[in-house]
Chain A
Amino acid sequence: MTPLLKVKNMTHFFGGLRAVYNYNLTLEKNRIQGLIGPNGAGKTTVFNLITGIFKPSKGSVKLDNEEIAGLFPYQIASKGLGRTFQNLLLWRHLTVFDHIKIAHYSQISYGLIGSFFGTKKRREEEAKIKENSYRLMEIFDISDFADMLAVNLPYGAQRRVEMARAMAIKPKALFLDEPTAGMTPEELIRMIQIIKNVQKKFNVAIFLIEHRLKFVMELCETIQTLVFGEVIAEGTPEQIQNNPQVIEAYLGKEDIS
């Protein structure tokens, strides 16, 4: 079976700074994989490189055996790569329902004529999108907030809106950038449930950045550890937990003197 997403020798420089070096990733279908690393290790840069916000200086990114490195972010997204953001990039003046609806952008086919004149095709497609949006909001438990501005929701709900929005583009792989940042332990447990649910329901591969070990242990099948832009360890949660290099990266070297 070919992997869903294959990243090979991806390298990126910001000027003279080597942000990511020789990064490799094989993301299998229907799996949850994690990426951990200390602050400033380049985790989010890896996400941004794969989703096209930055163009990798070197290396290849293949989604379903199709090269996507160098495409525009919206092209990569419409090929089936949804993502959320570490610092919640919600749209300030839009309701929750609008968020989910707009994310169906690549699935509409009524074009400009439809949007100018309100054709029958447009009405049919928008009705279908509305139905799908409500279904998604139901799954993510945000349908009560449908007509509220997304920025007015509680923090946990905002995270779920972002995930629902990412799922609306019908992704094959979902990238979650610190889905539990700033959450209470109760919200954390709820998030674990939601991610498991989503994975089962949509048969989507999930790749996530996370700091909390509990969360990663519970969800991920394999974990990569990134330090200064390089992967220093890869394996199951248990292997990673006991890896001396990982411990060193996180806690520092024991000073023997």
Chain B
Amino acid sequence: MQPRYFATFYLNYKNMKRIIGFKKILGFFSAMPALGWLFGFFSAVIIEYLIGNNIAWLLGLPKIPVLFGFLIMLKKPLLIPGALAYIIIVYLLPLTLTARFFSGKINKLAAKLYKLPPPVYTVFYLIFLYIIIDIWAGMSDYRIVTLKLTFIAIILTLSLNVINGYMGEFSCSHTGFMALGAYFASTVTLILFTNDKLFGEALLPSYLAPFLFPIALIIGGIAAALGSLLVAIPSFRTRGDYLAIISLAFMFIVKSLIENLEVLGGARGMGGQHPLANLPTVFIWTILSIWIINNFVTSIIGKATNAVRDNETAANAMTINTRRTKIVTFMFAAFWAGVAGGLFAHVLCYVNPGTFGIKKLAEIFTMVYFGGLNSIVGSIIGAVAFNLASEALRPLELFKWIIIPVIMILIMIYRPTGLVAFKEFDIKKILAPKGDK
């Protein structure tokens, strides 16, 4: 922006629109590639890390606003101007400046990166993204927990979308799969690494725990996948409402089974897990799940699930083995639900069967249907938006459960299939440099 424009801005407010122009503002943001956003957030996070406390003190805030100021604004309305100013100074300003002045250079850099093979630059972007997330979350424990739960929600949402969106079966057993995963993974780590009343002395020294943790998660996932056969096999003969009831029954069976198994602690739950699911672990598993699920749904075997959803008779006549497709899809989705459950147990270091009830299920459904059916991006957006919203609105307590459903109803009225439904996820398109226009 040139100085001349600043002057006119103050002199004539009405002319502002004509001079700066709404399009121009959007213009320089839309010319920014993904790398630019990362650079913008990176500078924002660095600023917050270095002088965030000072800025907060200057603006009269008690401490750094942990969740973009929402919590502060809702708790103490008097601090709203301060919190807003903080957001503008720390987040919006660096982003805008990067977009305005460095778009060209970053675009060139992005173009250079884009010439590398796709896996290489994707990994580069992910590492960059992780660094930003790590610095951002490192400033408060609250952020770390929120982020971890958000990542786990992404895995859950994606995996439920595979069944409900891609295959179109209305399955309500997802928290059941999650519980299976959580309990199996916890049992493995408790037996191996914890001196527990139930499982006796630790079999292995605890420094091995982080290395064997993936195996525990995979065991949890496999247990969930095997459990899902109980829902997958009835799905050969029935779909729609009836399958929903069967799968709901499965969920309650798992829940009350755990509640009544004294070996697993019954309704009191099971505690004592090592905090093995740290931020990088959860991040890696989330990326892994996005990658594998995206691979699956774009392959012909995955597309076959779409065919089964839209017309089973036609799918059958086009050589698609519908039974195999259903089993594979259920087991695949349940596997990821199990992994998410395992991670969940090791984030909280405690599980109890009450967590995996109908309320959690409703949350997962909300994320899937809010974000959009049949879409990877939609699921990610749904999970992140729902988690952040429910954290940000926490100070409203009961009213939170009025506002979120209202948002849901509005979404269902205006976009019945969700925000970003039926879109394919193309990492190359997202990371591509933006052309000069």
**Chain B residues with Cβ under 8 A from A209's Cβ?**
none
Cβ of B340 to closest chain A Cβ, rounded Å: 17
**Chain A residues with Cβ under 8 A from B292's Cβ?**
116-117
**Is A117 a contact of B295 with CB atoms below 8 Å?**
yes
- A13 interface residue per 8 A CB criterion: no
**Is B299 a contact of A102 with CB atoms below 8 Å?**
no
- A92 interface residue per 8 A CB criterion: yes
Alpha-carbon separation in the docked complex, A98 to B307 (Å): 9
Alpha-carbon separation in the docked complex, A151 to B320 (Å): 20
- B11 interface residue per 8 A CB criterion: no
Alpha-carbon separation in the docked complex, A101 to B320 (Å): 12
Alpha-carbon separation in the docked complex, A28 to B208 (Å): 68
- B296 interface residue per 8 A CB criterion: yes
A52-101: which have CB < 8 Å to B?
Answer: 53, 72-74, 77-78, 82-83, 85, 89-94, 98, 101
- B303 interface residue per 8 A CB criterion: yes
**Chain A residues with Cβ under 8 A from B306's Cβ?**
91, 93-94, 98, 102
With A90-B311, A93-B310, A98-B306 in contact, do A114 and B318 touch (Cβ < 8 Å)?
Answer: no
**Is A103 a contact of B318 with CB atoms below 8 Å?**
yes
**Chain B residues with Cβ under 8 A from A12's Cβ?**
none
**Is A106 a contact of B319 with CB atoms below 8 Å?**
yes
Alpha-carbon separation in the docked complex, A94 to B307 (Å): 8
CB < 8 Å neighbour of A74 from B296, B300, B302, B322: B322
With A91-B311, A94-B310, A116-B296 in contact, do A105 and B304 touch (Cβ < 8 Å)?
Answer: yes
**Chain A residues with Cβ under 8 A from B296's Cβ?**
115-116
With A74-B322, A77-B316 in contact, do A102 and B310 touch (Cβ < 8 Å)?
Answer: no
Determine the residue in chain B with the shortest Cβ distance to A91.
B310
- B15 interface residue per 8 A CB criterion: no
- A108 interface residue per 8 A CB criterion: yes
- A169 interface residue per 8 A CB criterion: yes
Cβ of B291 to closest chain A Cβ, rounded Å: 8
B343-359: which have CB < 8 Å to A?
Answer: none
Q: Please count how many residues in chain B sit with their CB below 8 Å of the partner chain's CB atoms.
A: 27
Cβ of B289 to closest chain A Cβ, rounded Å: 11
- Among B304, B306, B316, B374, the one with the most A-chain Cβ atoms within 10 Å of its Cβ is B316
**Is A98 a contact of B303 with CB atoms below 8 Å?**
yes
**Is B317 a contact of A104 with CB atoms below 8 Å?**
no
Cβ of A133 to closest chain B Cβ, rounded Å: 11
- A225 interface residue per 8 A CB criterion: no
Alpha-carbon separation in the docked complex, A91 to B309 (Å): 8
- Among B300, B306, B316, the one with the most A-chain Cβ atoms within 10 Å of its Cβ is B300
**Is B301 a contact of A77 with CB atoms below 8 Å?**
no
Determine the residue in chain A with the shortest Cβ distance to B321.
A74
**Chain A residues with Cβ under 8 A from B301's Cβ?**
105, 108, 112, 115
- A122 interface residue per 8 A CB criterion: yes
- A27 interface residue per 8 A CB criterion: no
CB < 8 Å neighbour of A114 from B299, B319, B322: B299
**Chain B residues with Cβ under 8 A from A169's Cβ?**
318-319
- B422 interface residue per 8 A CB criterion: yes
- B195 interface residue per 8 A CB criterion: no
- A180 interface residue per 8 A CB criterion: no
Alpha-carbon separation in the docked complex, A92 to B310 (Å): 6
- A129 interface residue per 8 A CB criterion: yes
Determine the residue in chain A with the shortest Cβ distance to B319.
A106
Residue ranges of A at the interface with B (Cβ–Cβ < 8 Å): 51, 53, 72-74, 77-78, 82-83, 85, 89-94, 98, 101-106, 108, 110, 112, 114-118, 122, 126, 129, 165-166, 168-169
* A115-B302, A126-B299 given; 19 more Cβ-contact pairs under 8 Å: A51-B317, A53-B316, A72-B316, A74-B320, A83-B317, A85-B314, A91-B306, A91-B314, A92-B310, A102-B315, A102-B320, A105-B320, A105-B321, A108-B301, A112-B301, A115-B296, A115-B300, A166-B317, A169-B319
Selected A-B contacts with CB under 8 Å, 22 pairs: A53-B317, A73-B313, A74-B319, A77-B318, A77-B319, A83-B317, A90-B310, A92-B310, A93-B374, A94-B306, A102-B300, A102-B307, A102-B315, A105-B319, A112-B301, A115-B296, A115-B299, A115-B300, A122-B299, A126-B299, A166-B318, A168-B318
Give me the 8 closest cross-chain CB pairs, A-B, nearest first.
Answer: A115-B299, A91-B310, A89-B314, A106-B319, A73-B316, A78-B319, A103-B318, A77-B319
Residue ranges of B at the interface with A (Cβ–Cβ < 8 Å): 292, 295-296, 299-304, 306-307, 309-311, 313-322, 328, 374, 422
